[in-house]
């Protein structure tokens, strides 16, 4: 069974790679038309822009790059700013969402009172808060962090709240019969029950943290990958825009993979999908 599963995963990786190659080849062929290239960019030029951003090596003029590549390696300050904003927002939003979710799930009276306010805050378009955060925190990183926190917080909050509410009454009754107090229930029953819900929300929150940081950089910033993309849009440099999108996507996937590794380490006790049916 395990060998068949590994074989299926290898097949999936192969076809994913094939699909990526097909997309890139199709993009390249379509971009040979100058009108299409103006709107969609050229994958070779996008790769060249990424090279110039990350590597300090110049490439002389050649058929692929008639003007050559300068190799400025000048993205690291901007990328570091965006990653710092993302990680801070991800961490702060997760901690706040976890704490508030646990509190309201275990405090029915407070949950009942605050329910309409939480729903109202969650339904508010977050982008409209960006000018307010800029006024409060200035144009530094904290206005972007605050905007991204509002995106991450509610995802984590609702998943933790639901996870705690889904705890089996039988498990709670058994724990109380064994003499567990509220703190012990929180540590041994509620938190383990909510863990899978938390990690499910974290995978979504990673992308939203990047979204919040980049949107904040769009609306007012002097550094960041979002700032680079905004400057490129102002000059209709679509290749740089797509290069920024590729870089952000790659780092978002890397952060999501890191969350996945942590999840596997902390969730070893949880049976894999399909294993419970064998018991």
pLDDT at 276: 41
164, 190 in Cβ contact below 8 A? yes
**pLDDT value of residue 223:** 85
Walk along the chain (279 residues) in steps of 10 and give the mean pLDDT of each run. 60 87 90 86 87 79 70 83 92 91 87 90 87 87 92 90 78 73 74 76 84 86 86 88 90 85 70 49
Question: Which is nearest to 159 in space by CA: 203, 126, 125?
Answer: 203
Classified as helix, coil or strand, 59 is: strand
Residue 245, classified by CB atoms within 10 Å of its CB into exposed (0-12), middle (13-18) or buried (19+), is middle
Q: What is the pLDDT of residue 25?
A: 92
Cross-strand bridge partners of residue 59: 69
**pLDDT at residue 6, rounded to an integer:** 55
For residue 69, the SS3 value is strand
Q: What is the pTM of this model?
A: 0.79
| The pLDDT of residue 84 | 93
User: What residue spans define the domains of the chain?
Assistant: 2-42, 76-270
Q: Which two tokens stand for residue 207?
A: 């992308």
Encode 100-127: b = buried (16+ Cβ within 10 Å), e = exposed: bbbbbbbeeeeeeeeeeebeeeeeeebe
Structure token digits, residue 258: 């890191």
Quickly name the fold that domain 76-270 has: MetI-like fold (1.10.3720)
pLDDT at 37: 84
- What CA–CA distance (Å, rounded) separates 241 from 225? 10
Q: Which of 205, 191, 78 is closest to 141 using CA atoms? A: 78
The pLDDT score that the predictor gives to residue 271 is 55
Distances (CA, A) of 212 to 97, 196, 228, 272: 16, 24, 16, 33
pLDDT value, residue 226: 87
What is the reported pLDDT for 277? 43
Output the pLDDT for position 92. 94
């Amino acid at each position: 069974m395990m060998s068949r599963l590994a074989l299926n995963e290898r097949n999936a990786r192969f076809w994913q790679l094939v699909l990526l190659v097909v997309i890139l080849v199709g993009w390249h062929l379509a971009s040979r038309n100058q009108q299409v290239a103006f709107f969609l960019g050229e994958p070779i030029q996008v790769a060249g822009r990424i090279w110039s951003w990350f590597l300090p090596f110049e490439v002389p003029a050649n058929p692929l790059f008639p003007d050559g590549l300068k190799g400025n390696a000048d993205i690291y300050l901007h990328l570091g700013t965006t990653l710092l904003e993302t990680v801070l927002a991800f961490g702060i939003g997760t901690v706040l969402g976890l704490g508030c979710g646990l509190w309201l799930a275990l405090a029915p009276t407070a949950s009942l009172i605050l329910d309409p306010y939480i729903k109202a805050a969650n339904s508010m378009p977050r982008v409209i808060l960006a000018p307010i955060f800029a006024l409060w925190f200035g144009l530094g990183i904290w206005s972007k962090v605050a905007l991204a926190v509002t995106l991450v917080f509610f995802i984590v909050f609702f998943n933790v709240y639901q996870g705690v509410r889904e705890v089996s009454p039988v498990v709670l009754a058994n724990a109380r019969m064994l003499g567990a107090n509220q703190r012990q229930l929180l540590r041994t029953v509620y938190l383990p029950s909510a863990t899978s819900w938390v990690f499910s929300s974290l995978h979504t929150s990673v992308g939203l943290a990047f979204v919040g940081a980049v949107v904040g950089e769009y609306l007012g910033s002097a550094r960041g990958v979002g700032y680079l993309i905004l400057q490129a849009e102002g000059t209709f440099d679509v290749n740089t825009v797509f290069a920024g999108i590729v870089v952000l996507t790659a780092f978002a996937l890397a952060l999501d993979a890191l969350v996945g590794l942590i999840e596997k380490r902390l969730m070893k006790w949880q049976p894999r999908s399909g294993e419970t049916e064998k018991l």
